[in-house]
Structures are given as structure tokens and as C-alpha cells.
Amino acid sequence: MNNTGLVYALAAAITWGVVYVLDQKVLTKLSPLNWLFISSLVMAIITLPIAVMNWESIKTAIFSGNKQFFYFIIGAPILAILANFFIFSAIQRLGAPIASIFEIAYPFFVAIFTLILFGGSLNAYFWIGALFMFLGGVIIIRFT
């Protein structure tokens, strides 16, 4: 297993934990749609110089002639916008801790959609792990 990848994954989990708490505070004054716009604008401003420096690779990817890849490039950001809107709305209505318990089920859906879209198989360990994940969420929500 790649240690650098594990460090990045742990850093992402820690960062998202902080982000959810900050989002909860921001969403007391802003609607989820307004916060989605502002956060997207800030991200665009920060990443624009990186995109400009890597324009050739972006152009190559977009105009590769691979229609399926082009659809992924369009579809993934659209779904990310929807996902962010939904989690902002959940954080606003449920609070960051409870919203994050539901949202943490996404690995289950990653596996299911990988199976549906790209083939593959899911073994018994996946289903046992998924059951524990959902039971953990129920226990946390029920007893807190």
C-alpha cells in the first residue's frame, strides 16, 4: 500500500472534519446555495493559477476525442456541486456531527457505483463492512 496515499487520505479526513465544523457556523448566516457559490468562487480563484500553468494537460484531456472521458469531465463536477449542496443543506438542518454520520456512508456508494459503471465484484467482506458501517451510524445517531 502506498504510504503517501494513506497520509493524503488521513489529511483529507482531518481537513473535512474541520471544514464541516466551519460550514456549520457559516450556514447559520448563509443559505446552502449562497455558501456553495462563495466556496466555489474561492476555490476557482485559488486553483486558477494552477490550471493556467497546466493548460496543455487540461486541453489534451478535454479534447482527447474520447467521448466517455469527456462525459466524466462534465459529469463529475456537476455531481460534486449537487453533493456539496446536499451536504451543506444537511449540515444546516442537522448539524455537522449528524450530517457527517450519514455522509460517511459514501464508501458504500463508491463501491456500488464502481460495480454498476465499471464492472467488478463485491465480496462478503464488503457486505459485512457495509453492515457495520450502517449499524455504527444507527448506534451513534440513536444513542447521542
Residues 6+ apart with CB under 8 A from 63: none
Per-residue confidence in pLDDT tens, the chain, 144 aa: 789 999 999 999 999 999 999 999 999 999 999 999 999 999 999 999 999 998 888 888 888 788 888 888 899 999 999 999 999 999 999 999 889 888 888 888 888 998 898 887 889 998 898 899 888 888 887 887
| Overall pTM surpassing 0.85 (yes/no) | no
Helix (H) or strand (E) segment spanning residue 137 = helix 124-142
Going along 42-140, which residue ranges are E strands? none
Spatial separation of the C-alpha atoms in residues 71 and 69, rounded to whole Å: 5
Domain residue ranges in the chain: 3-94, 104-144
